[in-house]
């Protein structure tokens, strides 16, 4: 009834990581509808890549190594239906599919889902990480929003010392398990984990997770949501303003924010904290469209900006937006000196 035909990227059922792969669906009856699913390392992503459709082409960008199965469910107007499957391997040279330790700067080590992730973590965001001891004072209170597996939390723990504390906000249940292990491994006794998403007011947030890629944890507020393969779950959420009051959290001296393209969605829920505390912000901003919302919002509080990778300084949002290139930027947001 239907046949799956690889169109690019795949050779002999195997491809290296970091490439797109495509599929064409050859159907014998034009009336047949299909929906597409992906299985990765025996984990079925039960949310379909698309709902019932007549589409004949699919392009994927696998973000983790392992064994994949593209499964297509079909149905026809006469009541017939069934499944067809195509298996392929994404296997970078030397990669392991088992949890792996990643060495990093300052003698820290992290557990990661596989060797490919471990390699990336060891080199990730080196410019900003190298400056944490300079930017974060001893005794500070740090909010790590989007703590992931602890790449920032562990060095932040060292920077603030025994008299400081790091509050780690992370809704991804997979990352939380790694975060707990990595905080233990690096003896980060001054860290606490708050397993929820920071929002503009939502109490339950649709969230996509990937069990083999620590960098894929997306709320539905992210521009990338829906374009990534993952399992959808509901996670608890709260505004930062409400959370600080309800849980009597200390005001932050520093906030690191990395929420994978949803930066614009959480800011309205932290206005009171920004107004009251004026913390230094270590902000990962995903693309010009998000920057066009985030930076003018921060201008209201008198922030000045520094590009962590380029070392360039900007007095206000318009001057930074003029040079904001596509892609991800690590921006240090300095509060006004009289704050």
More confident residue, 281 or 59: 281
pLDDT band at 279 (very low <50, low <70, confident <90, very high): very high
| pLDDT above 90: percentage of residues in the chain | 55
Q: Inform me whether the pLDDT recorded for 339 exceeds 60.
A: no
Chain centroid to Cα 197, Å, comes to: 12
Q: Output the pLDDT for position 97.
A: 65
Q: Output the pLDDT for position 112.
A: 86
pLDDT band at 232 (very low <50, low <70, confident <90, very high): confident
Q: Inform me whether the pLDDT recorded for 62 exceeds 60.
A: yes
Please state, in angstroms and rounded to a whole number, the distance separating the CA atoms of residues 253 and 278: 8
Phi/psi of residue 133, nearest 5 degrees? -65, -25
Contact between 169 and 198 under an 8 Å Cβ cutoff? The reply is yes
Long-range contacts of 126-134 (CB under 8 A, 24+ apart): 127/308, 127/309, 127/330, 128/282, 128/308, 128/309, 128/330, 128/332, 129/105, 129/155, 130/105, 131/308, 131/332, 132/156, 132/159, 133/158, 133/159
Which residues make Cβ contacts (< 8 Å) with residue 322, sequence separation at least 6? none
Alpha-carbon distances, residue 250 vs 81, 103, 254 (angstroms): 58, 32, 11
Phi/psi of residue 121, nearest 5 degrees? -60, -35
Q: Inform me whether the pLDDT recorded for 71 exceeds 60.
A: yes
Please state, in angstroms and rounded to a whole number, the distance separating the CA atoms of residues 292 and 87: 42
More confident residue, 87 or 262: 87
Task: Tell how strand 231-238 and strand 197-198 pair up.
Answer: parallel
Q: Output the pLDDT for position 261.
A: 80
Q: Output the pLDDT for position 186.
A: 95
More confident residue, 273 or 285: 273
Contact between 155 and 121 under an 8 Å Cβ cutoff? The reply is no
Q: Output the pLDDT for position 227.
A: 67
Q: What is the average per-residue pLDDT within 72-86?
A: 95
Q: What is the average per-residue pLDDT within 139-156?
A: 96
Q: Output the pLDDT for position 323.
A: 83
């Amino acid at each position: 009834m239907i046949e799956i035909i690889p169109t690019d990227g795949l050779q002999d059922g195997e491809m290296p990581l970091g490439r797109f792969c495509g599929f064409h669906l050859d159907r014998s009856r034009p009336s047949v509808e299909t929906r597409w699913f992906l299985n990765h390392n025996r984990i079925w992503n039960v949310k379909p890549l698309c709902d019932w459709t007549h589409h004949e082409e699919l392009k994927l960008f696998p973000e983790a190594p392992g064994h994949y199965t593209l499964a297509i469910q079909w149905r026809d107007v006469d009541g017939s239906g069934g499944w067809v499957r195509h298996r392929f391997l994404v296997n970078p040279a030397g990669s392991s599919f088992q949890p792996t330790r990643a060495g990093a700067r300052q003698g820290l080590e992290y557990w990661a889902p596989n060797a490919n992730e471990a390699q990336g973590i060891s080199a990730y965001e080196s410019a900003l990480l190298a400056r944490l001891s300079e930017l974060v004072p001893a005794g500070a209170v740090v909010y790590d929003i989007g703590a992931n597996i602890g790449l920032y939390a562990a060095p932040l723990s060292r920077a603030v010392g025994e008299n400081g504390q790091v509050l780690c906000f992370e809704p991804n249940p997979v990352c939380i398990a790694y975060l707990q292990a990595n905080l233990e491994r690096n003896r980060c006794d001054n860290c606490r984990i708050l397993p929820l998403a920071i929002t503009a007011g939502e109490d339950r947030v649709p969230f996509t997770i990937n069990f083999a890629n620590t960098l894929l944890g997306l709320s539905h507020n992210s521009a990338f949501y829906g374009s990534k393969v993952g399992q959808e779950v509901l996670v608890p959420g709260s505004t930062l303003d409400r959370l600080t009051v309800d849980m009597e959290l200390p005001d932050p001296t520093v906030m690191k924010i990395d929420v994978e393209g949803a930066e614009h969605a959480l800011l309205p829920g932290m206005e009171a904290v920004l107004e009251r505390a004026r913390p230094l912000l270590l902000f990962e901003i995903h693309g010009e469209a998000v920057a066009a919302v985030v930076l003018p919002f921060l201008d209201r509080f008198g922030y000045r900006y520094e590009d962590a990778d380029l070392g360039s300084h900007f007095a206000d949002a318009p001057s930074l937006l003029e040079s904001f290139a596509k892609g991800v930027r690590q921006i240090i947001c300095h509060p006004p000196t009289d704050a």
